[in-house]
Amino acid sequence: MVKEKAYAKINLFLDVLGKRPDQYHDLEMVMAPIKLCDYLTFKKNKNGDINIKTNVEVTDSLQNNLIYKAIKRLEEKSGKVLGVDVVLEKHIPIAGGLAGGSADAGATLRGINKLYKLKYTNEQLAELGEDIGADVPYCIYNKLCIARGKGEKLFFLNHKINHEILLINPGIKVSTKEVFDQIDMKKITPRKITAMTNAIYNKNTELMISELYNALEPFTFELFDEVKKCKDEILSYNPKGVLMSGSGPTFFVCGLDRKDLLIMKEGLEKKYHVYHTKIH
> Among all residues, which ones are annotated catalytic?
9, 135
Neighbour tally for 66: CB within 10 Å: 22
